[in-house]
Structure 1
Amino acid sequence: MADKYSLTLEQNIFLAKKLIVENIYNSAKLEGCNVTFPDTQTILDGISVSNLKISDIECVLNLRDAWKFLLNNIEKPFELEFVCKINSYVARNEALEWGVLRNGNVGISGTNYVPPTPAKECVIREIEKINNIENVTERAIRYFLWGMRSQLFWDGNKRTSTLCANKILIKNGKGILSVKEQDLREFNQRLAEFYNTNDYLVIEDFIYDKCIRGIDFT
């Protein structure tokens, strides 16, 4: 797998900030948050939006704060502590606990797969293994998929994994990962198959082709 983009850190941060509203909207839709793009923009502008659930508004604001933390700490090493910090923003006031590995069982709707309760040492080893993947884009996609399937946290796993994948990409100037609303149906179909089979081949090319964006210089 070749990297699609080769940007400087400054260029990639510029791109992330330019697409911040769209990225937050896409991440919110990824986990079923019932907001529109104009709703998302309005919430981020600090203006109240009527007829929205408080939980949907919190989802957007939590993603805003998680992105702010990510960009302000882009040089920090990618390890479990960083992942937990991202989840502490993303799942704030949504889950039984946030920012810590779950300590009980969960199921995933639409699949037969039941993720085991994560063991801290095993998670640390897996993150280290992923960090050793030489190609940055492959590394980011691998963490994105592994993090979602592992269900490390009580809630917010898709959002947390998206942000973590973007931390890997942005720090190395390799673009942005975001699942657009128009691609959600196929993404969810492929993701369900991935959950059931643990076969990265059923989805990683789709993510590479459809979900990695950058700056195309002329």
Structure 2
Amino acid sequence: MAADKFAMSRDGEDILVEKNFAQLVYLAGKFAGLSTTLLDTQAKPSEIRTILNLRDAYHYAMSLQYISEVSFAALLKINLFVIGAGASGAGQIRVQPVVVPLTDMIYQPTIPDETQVKREFSDLVQSEATTTDKAITVLLWLSRAQLFLDGNKRTAIIAANALMFAGRRGLLAVPENKLAEYLQRLQQYYKNGDTANLKHWLYDTAIFGF
């Protein structure tokens, strides 16, 4: 079990999020393939909706710190914000197959059973693990399970941070200069389902606070 690196006050967590909010939105946008830089994020109209959706999703995730638990209903709402209320399947567990193209193969996750994944998610967030461990586990589980038609990696990182915000344990964010390595490691995880090495890497690379 990964220990919590940080134990922050509510004010401290709020200051950390406020200072890094633009960076969190920007990095989440990279999972959607956005080509914007941090400086010109607001200058490309064709991508602004994705940015605004991520902003709203993070604002919602931050609001969850005032309740006792990040629920399955909250997870669905995060996805609703991420891909937009008008998008097909937004905020709903998918009922059709999807494929994820990898470098050398196609990964096709099973069609999720909503009752089962609801139970699995609840078990993860209610476990006796540390907040940091739960956040990393939720990030990886959601990324591989591909519960939604779209926005799975973005939903996963924001849901993981909702847990970090609520527990006042800092932030979970893959630095831009480590993003290519993360995506490569994530592909291996899609193939073999082995979380151990990737969890250690994320703990060492992607947990921030003070």
Equivalent position to 1:183, from 160, 178, 185 = 178
Give, in whole Å, the separation in 2 of the partners of 1:201 and 1:93. Answer: 35
Whether the aligned pair in 2 keeps the contact of 1:193 and 1:202 (CA below 8 Å) is no
Report how far residue 109 of structure 1 moved. 1.3
* Equivalence for 2:136: 141
* Equivalence for 1:68: 59
1:121 aligns with 2:112: no
TM-score under structure 1 length normalisation = 0.89
Whether the aligned pair in 2 keeps the contact of 1:194 and 1:202 (CA below 8 Å) is no
Q: Which runs of 4+ in 1 moved over 6 A?
A: none
Extract unaligned runs of 5+ from structure 1. Answer: 44-48
The alignment's C-alpha RMSD in Å is 1.5
Give, in whole Å, the separation in 1 of the partners of 2:130 and 2:60. Answer: 25
* Equivalence for 1:151: 146
AA paired with 1:206?
Answer: W
Between 1:174-183 and 1:103-112, the stretch displaced more is 103-112
Residues 106 and 21 from structure 1, CA distance in 2 versus in 1: closer, same or farther, beyond 3 angstroms? same
Whether the aligned pair in 2 keeps the contact of 1:22 and 1:37 (CA below 8 Å) is yes
Give, in whole Å, the separation in 2 of the partners of 1:4 and 1:73. Answer: 21
Between 1:132-141 and 1:189-198, the stretch displaced more is 132-141
1:192 aligns with 2:187: yes
Give, in whole Å, the separation in 1 of the partners of 2:116 and 2:100. Answer: 21
* Equivalence for 1:202: 197
User: SS in structure 1 opposite 2:40?
Assistant: helix
Give, in whole Å, the separation in 2 of the partners of 1:115 and 1:153. Answer: 11
Give, in whole Å, the separation in 1 of the partners of 2:163 and 2:143. Answer: 16
CA distances 1:29-64 after superposition (whole Å, capped 9, x unpaired): 123111110122xx2xxxxx2xx352x211111011
Equivalent position to 1:91, from 83, 90, 96 = 83
Report how far residue 74 of structure 1 moved. 2.1
TM-score under structure 2 length normalisation = 0.92
User: SS in structure 1 opposite 2:107?
Assistant: coil
Residues 144 and 133 from structure 1, CA distance in 2 versus in 1: closer, same or farther, beyond 3 angstroms? farther
Residues 116 and 25 from structure 1, CA distance in 2 versus in 1: closer, same or farther, beyond 3 angstroms? same
* Equivalence for 1:168: 163
Give the percent of matched residue pairs that are identical in Structure 1 and Structure 2.
31
1:105 aligns with 2:97: yes
Give, in whole Å, the separation in 1 of the partners of 2:24 and 2:122. Answer: 27
Aligned residues: 205
Report how far residue 182 of structure 1 moved. 0.2
Whether the aligned pair in 1 keeps the contact of 2:171 and 2:208 (CA below 8 Å) is yes
Whether the aligned pair in 2 keeps the contact of 1:176 and 1:214 (CA below 8 Å) is yes
Residues 94 and 190 from structure 1, CA distance in 2 versus in 1: closer, same or farther, beyond 3 angstroms? farther
AA paired with 1:166?
Answer: N
Residues 207 and 61 from structure 1, CA distance in 2 versus in 1: closer, same or farther, beyond 3 angstroms? same
AA paired with 1:11?
Answer: G
